[in-house]
Amino acid sequence: MTDKSIHANSVVVESLDYEGRGIAHANGKVIFIEGALTDERVTYSSYRKKTSFEIAQLGQIIKPTFMRVQPKCKHFGVCGGCSMQHMDARAQVAAKQRILEDNLWHIGKVKAQTILPPIYGQSWGYRQRARLSVRHVLKKGKTLVGFREKRGGYVADMQHCEILTPKIAKLLPLLGQLNESFTTRDALPQIEVAIGEHVDVLVLRILQALSPADEDAIKQFADTYAVQFWLQTKGPETAVPFYPLDAPQLTYSLPEFGITMPFAPTEFTQVNADMNRVMVSRAMRLLDPQPNERIADLFCGLGNFTLPIARSGAQAVGIEGSAALVQRAAQNAAFNDLTDNTQFSVMNLFEIDEATLVQLGHFDKMLIDPPRDGAFELIKALGADAPGRIVYVSCNPATLARDAEILVHQKGYILKTAGVMNMFPHTSHVESIALFEKTQA
Does position 104 have pLDDT exceeding 80, yes or no? Answer: yes
**300 is known to lie in a ligand binding site:** no
Residue 27 lies in a domain: yes
Residues 145 and 8 in one domain: no
Residues 278 and 145 in one domain: no
The sign one gets for the Cα dihedral 225, 228, 231, 237 is: negative
Residue 266 lies in a domain: no
Q: What is the pLDDT of residues 210-252, one digit of tens each?
A: 999 999 999 999 999 999 999 999 999 999 999 999 999 999 9
Pairing relation of β-strands 142-146 and 342-346?
unpaired
- pLDDT for 5 equals 47
Residue 166 lies in a domain: yes
Q: For residue 38, give its domain range.
A: 3-68
Beta bridge partners of 294: 315
Share of the chain above pLDDT 90, in %: 94
Residue pair 73/162 in contact (Cβ under 8 Å)? The answer is: yes
Residue 86 lies in a domain: no
Q: pLDDT band at residue 19, thresholds of 50, 70 and 90?
A: confident
Q: What is the pLDDT of residues 164-191, one digit of tens each?
A: 999 999 999 999 999 999 999 999 999 9
Residues 284 and 414 in one domain: yes
CA 66 to chain centre: 28
Residues 114 and 186 in one domain: no
Residues 318 and 381 in one domain: yes
DSSP summary character for residue 197: S
Is 300 among the catalytic positions?
no
Total domain count, the chain: 3
Ramachandran bin of 429, using left for φ above 0, alpha for ψ from -120 to 50, beta for the remaining angles: beta
CATH number for position 38: 2.40.50.140
- What is the C-alpha separation between 161 and 76, in angstroms, rounded? 10
Does position 23 have pLDDT exceeding 60, yes or no? Answer: yes
Side chain identity, residue 241: P
Residue 430 lies in a domain: yes
Residue pair 365/389 in contact (Cβ under 8 Å)? The answer is: yes
CATH number for position 388: 3.40.50.150
Side chain identity, residue 435: L
Catalytic-labelled residue, pool 395, 407, 415, 433? 395
Residue 380 lies in a domain: yes
CA nearest to 179, candidates 146, 148, 156? 146
Share of the chain above pLDDT 70, in %: 98
Q: What is the pLDDT of residues 324-369, one digit of tens each?
A: 999 999 999 999 999 999 999 999 999 999 999 999 999 999 999 9
Residues 118 and 133 in one domain: no
- What is the C-alpha separation between 251 and 260, in angstroms, rounded? 7
Q: pLDDT band at residue 284, thresholds of 50, 70 and 90?
A: very high
Residue 255 lies in a domain: no
Q: pLDDT band at residue 8, thresholds of 50, 70 and 90?
A: low
Residue 180 has phi, psi (to 5 degrees) of -65, -25
DSSP summary character for residue 257: G
**299 is known to lie in a ligand binding site:** yes
Indicate the residue among 68, 85, 108 that finishes a domain.
68
The C-alpha angle with vertex 411 and arms to 408 and 412, in degrees rounded to 5, equals 65
Residues 108 and 25 in one domain: no
Residues 166 and 189 in one domain: yes
Residues 56 and 118 in one domain: no
Residues 276 and 421 in one domain: yes
Residues 117 and 18 in one domain: no
Residues 387 and 293 in one domain: yes
Residue 85 lies in a domain: no
